[in-house]
Structure 1
Amino acid sequence: MKGRLRRKASLVLSMIAAVVVLLSACTSGSGGSMSSSEGASNRAKNSSSGSAAEVDRAAPGAIELDPYEISIYVPGATTEDIPVVEEAINAYLKDKINATVKLNFIDWNNYQNKTNLMITSGEKFDLFYMANWLGYPDAAVKGMLLPVDDLIEKYGQAIKPNLNMVYQTGAKVNGKLYGVPSNKEYASNQALLIRKDIMDKYGFNANEIQTYHDFGRWFKIIKENERELVPFAGINDMEWAILSKFEPIGNYFGVLDKEANDLKVIDMFQSPKYLEIVKQAREWYTAGYIVKDAATTQVTREELMKNGKVATMMNGAKPGIDKEKTIMTGRDLVQIDFSKPYTSTGDVTGALLTIPNTSADPERVMMFLNLLYSDKYLLNLIDWGVEGKHYVKVSDNVIDFPQGVDATTVGYSAQGDQWIFGNQFNSYLFKSEDPDKWKKLISFNESAIISKALGFSFDPTPVQNEISACLTTMNQYFIGLSSGSLDPDKYVPELVKKLKANGLDKIIAEKQRQLNVWVAHGK
């Protein structure tokens, strides 16, 4: 989220596990995996005489390029008007870089597995969404992603001036960039999103809220008076409470305490703060404040909110997240922050567009990325669709749905995930959003506490077996504990015992060692 840990937190565990499998496949030399040198060789074979790689790009607009289709994969729902938007984008790109695009949206539940399979099988594609919590540093180290520093220098001249230095330093792996971060918030905090009609009906006051514990008073009132509403989604929502207290280092097997803001790697599962969070979840679950099947359902928080099943949900936050989720769910939501802005490596690498080592023309892909940072028309085509069909202009930078269309019936949008693409400060605002949203986002970034470990990326290779074993164990407990369906007094000690037997202490020691080396070498 941002850095997006900022999105689909309930998928983090399965995605981390999939990354471990992916890395094993990519280092074994089997299964059709492709090394960085092999990828370069294949690109040389596949590129035609008119490819971007073979021409002087000092003046790219002056030289004829052969047509090229850029195949893009991002998470999101497939909507009926994607071909309409592709057609508009392709007509526009022809005179720019003589390229077309193929937009492939994969639902969040399947995104990790699908892109993993594509990479390990050597499938040709050109651009895809990556993030720290999806294994960005590990994929970079293993040669699955192309370094982009030189490509940015040659073909991405508009990117660096529009990208804060926090991104340019914090998103590097071993001194190189392996993706282009989305230009948006590089800090995050956590918030409860509550339906405005419920808040107004019962006179809830945001000033009453000091910590996440205080939401329980509101949940009680909702439970007693709203028979058709569950007070709190709880579909791993409490992971946002966990993230308000801890900074994961690649995974939860060794974290930093945000409030201490030091460089001591600790065992989160034995921390009093973790135990406090899962005990709160258990209390709310047994009181009937949380969806009963929160630990197992495949329905998202947003879908429950859209369908009128829940009154509140937690989310990673920034200024205006309530209005973004209002557009997504069709429910007027209010944002109640319960933590302070914080910037970590996970935040600045929460949304990157990366080029896999199977791309046949990474130079052309970088030209496209350059346009996403400099060309407002193109960015908003991808973000919102075709003007007049998917949105109408209210003013120069403000839009609304066309008459008779709403969030549930519009034929295309980036499904609330516009933050994935390019320079978001060029994206239109909906009329329901704060007109000063982008100014407030800049202030939000500038106010953030900066992690002392910003820019550090953990290499899991020395303890990969231990991580795999611990993931298997954690998957049995984590979601049940964070949703309140498992009793922490019984199951947290059981979890800790099994994690230690699987090598948790060794993982923590290795993280501390690497972090100490990183500090000693001047970060």
Structure 2
Amino acid sequence: MEKALKIVMATMVCSVVTLSGCSSSVKEGASATNQPTSSSAITNSGSTLSPYKITLVYPGSAPKDLALVQAEMSKYLTEKINATIELKPIEWGSWDDKTNLMKISNEPFDLMFTASWYYYPRDAAKGQYLELDDLMSKYGKEIPGILGPDFIKGSRIGGKLMALPTNKEFGQGFGFLLNKNLVDKYKFDTNGIKSMDELEAMFKTIKDKEPGVTPIISSKFSKIWQAANYDGIVAGLSVPRGSKEIKLVDTLEDPTIIDFYKRMNQWYKSGWFDKDVLTSDIDQAMNMIKAGKGFAVASSLKPGKDKEMSLTSGTEVVQIETAKPFTTTGDAQGAMLGISRTSKDPARTMMFLNLLYTDAKLLNLLDWGMEGKHYVKKSDSIIDYPPGMKADTQTYPNPGGWMFGNQFNSYLFANEDANKWKLFKEFNDRSERSILLGFSFNQEPVKSELASIANVETEFKSLYTGAVDAEKTMAKWKEKRAAAGFDRVKAEVEKQLKEWAASQK
């Protein structure tokens, strides 16, 4: 996973307030001091708390029945923690402008979606989010047991827990999505981890026996392969997967990756890639597979990814693995909720977060809406559309359950694998943890050099397609990268890694 977000380390700015008199209620702006320490006790005595409205900001479109679901959630939350909820979805295209304005203007709100790929390191370092360890120990006691120590470790920035991750897949799988019709026709074995030799045998069969079918669409496999074999930090500086000690390598010098790109050059010469290999993406690939003109596209994987893509694309694909799952800091921080520094009641907000991880009724209200109106139950955990409703007529489509709380408590749709969450847990258990889990690089000291290095990379993207000589291209890339300030970046990475490693002892 790419780790190219800018981090600016700054001091957390918090207002310190105190409780008045001997009141046991958590008032707006109050600290967690002298409040009940058991979150379960709190939710059983919500009437002792002062009313409070929690504002949840997340990316997405506002559905027709947002107000109805919001009212139902508020009714339930009032019983639990004497709170109501304001759901505040913001269109993806408007997210940056609107949320930046909220932050700059110090607009009060409580929770905001964030991620390693969506400004978490930058915003956490700027003090946008509150530190959560103390709040969680008092008002979210069930959360650590649900997430586990590795998930929480990987969610920290500079040792501080500034947001809580969704409990979902904890790692990334790697492989290909394949045209199921052709897999069945040639009886390709999709079980187990596929070696490069086994992949090549499949692609050669398609090239030789299926005129008009492109064996591989897109250059995505280069990125997928690299993510499966290295925990990348920045500018090609990485630690190889399986390392028992923190030893930095430059991927433009590593013999393993040089051999890989030589192999990609052979794939290219064999005519296995599509003509738009540099720019084609997953959507183009699925369209070609649907039209019977494509066989495979590389993809990050999770349990049921093939079924998910089959449903959304309208054509059947199956998945094969090229490596076992791998967990990096970026995977731990893939979807999170942070408590804003402008929250008037961080304690109540943490109580709400605790419920998102522990209370299936609340989570499914947020994920799916109201039973009978937005879905009907087929069993305790399986749902479907009500009679007369379809995907394109639903009035409360799922806003993105992967963004909230404990996904393992979310209902499954009738067309999903009933064992999905069991398979996810098995996936998480077998995912190998990177030795760098929990390390986040602060780019601020070398941000200008990194900008120059990123510009250099754009000149050499043809390497990912296999269309060029690997050694010659990588040598030229290294030369230009050096002139852009690579040595200074490397020195900064080594410095921060050394400091982080010392803090882990």
> Normalised by the size of structure 1, how large is the TM-score?
0.79
**1:61 aligned to 2:43?**
no
Deviates more, 1:455-464 or 1:214-223: 214-223
Residue 164 of structure 1: aligned partner: 148
Aligned match for 2:484, one of 502, 506, 509: 502
Residue 130 of structure 1: aligned partner: 114
Letter in 1 for 2:440: S
Q: Which runs of 5+ in 2 are unaligned?
A: 20-25, 37-41
**1:320 aligned to 2:304?**
yes
Structure 1 residue 305 displacement after superposition:
7.7
Aligned match for 1:519, one of 476, 501, 504: 501
Q: 1:297 to 1:439 in 2, by over 3 A?
A: closer
Between the aligned partners of 2:101 and 2:205, the Cα distance in structure 1 is 47
Residue 419 of structure 1: aligned partner: 402
Structure 1 residue 284 displacement after superposition:
4.9
Q: Helix, strand or coil: the match of 1:515? A: helix
Judge conservation of contact 1:192–1:314 (CA < 8 Å) in 2. Answer: yes
Q: Helix, strand or coil: the match of 1:185? A: coil
Higher radius of gyration, 1 or 2: 2
Residue 267 of structure 1: aligned partner: 250
**1:449 aligned to 2:432?**
yes
Structure 1 residue 70 displacement after superposition:
0.8
**1:254 aligned to 2:237?**
yes
Between the aligned partners of 2:341 and 2:374, the Cα distance in structure 1 is 35
- What is the number of residues matched between the two proteins? 490
Judge conservation of contact 1:193–1:336 (CA < 8 Å) in 2. Answer: yes
**1:466 aligned to 2:449?**
yes
Q: Helix, strand or coil: the match of 2:113? A: strand
Between the aligned partners of 1:515 and 1:262, the Cα distance in structure 2 is 11
Between the aligned partners of 2:248 and 2:87, the Cα distance in structure 1 is 43
Deviates more, 1:400-409 or 1:132-141: 400-409
1:209-245 C-alpha deviation (Å, 9 max, x unpaired): 6235643443455566777865444264531111011
Between the aligned partners of 1:310 and 1:355, the Cα distance in structure 2 is 45
Aligned match for 1:333, one of 313, 317, 326: 317
**1:98 aligned to 2:83?**
yes
Q: Helix, strand or coil: the match of 1:100? A: strand
Structure 1 residue 62 displacement after superposition:
2.0
1:360-386 C-alpha deviation (Å, 9 max, x unpaired): 443343232122101112222333344
Judge conservation of contact 2:290–2:314 (CA < 8 Å) in 1. Answer: no
1:66-86 C-alpha deviation (Å, 9 max, x unpaired): 452513123x56665555544
Residue 185 of structure 1: aligned partner: 169
> Normalised by the size of structure 2, how large is the TM-score?
0.81
Structure 1 residue 165 displacement after superposition:
1.3
**1:355 aligned to 2:308?**
no
Q: 1:122 to 1:374 in 2, by over 3 A?
A: same
Aligned match for 2:58, one of 61, 70, 73: 73
Aligned match for 1:146, one of 118, 130, 141: 130
1:247-283 C-alpha deviation (Å, 9 max, x unpaired): 012x344111114443111111232333444455555
1:468-522 C-alpha deviation (Å, 9 max, x unpaired): 22123224444x4435566645543332222111122322232223222333344
**1:176 aligned to 2:160?**
yes
1:189-223 C-alpha deviation (Å, 9 max, x unpaired): 31222243332233221258623564344345556
Q: 1:63 to 1:396 in 2, by over 3 A?
A: same
Report 1:173-322 matches (<5 A).
Answer: 173-207=157-191, 210-212=194-196, 214-222=198-206, 231-234=215-218, 236-249=220-233, 251-281=234-264, 284=267, 289-293=272-276, 295-296=278-279, 300=283, 304=287, 311-322=295-306
Residue 9 of structure 1: aligned partner: none
Report 1:357-396 matches (<5 A).
Answer: 357-396=341-380
Structure 1 residue 325 displacement after superposition:
3.6
Letter in 2 for 1:468: A
Q: Which runs of 5+ in 1 are unaligned?
A: 6-11, 28-34
Letter in 1 for 2:254: S
- Calculate the aligned-residue CA RMSD, in Å: 3.9
Q: 1:243 to 1:54 in 2, by over 3 A?
A: closer
Residue 22 of structure 2: aligned partner: none
Between the aligned partners of 1:455 and 1:139, the Cα distance in structure 2 is 17
Q: Helix, strand or coil: the match of 2:303? A: coil
Residue 155 of structure 1: aligned partner: 139
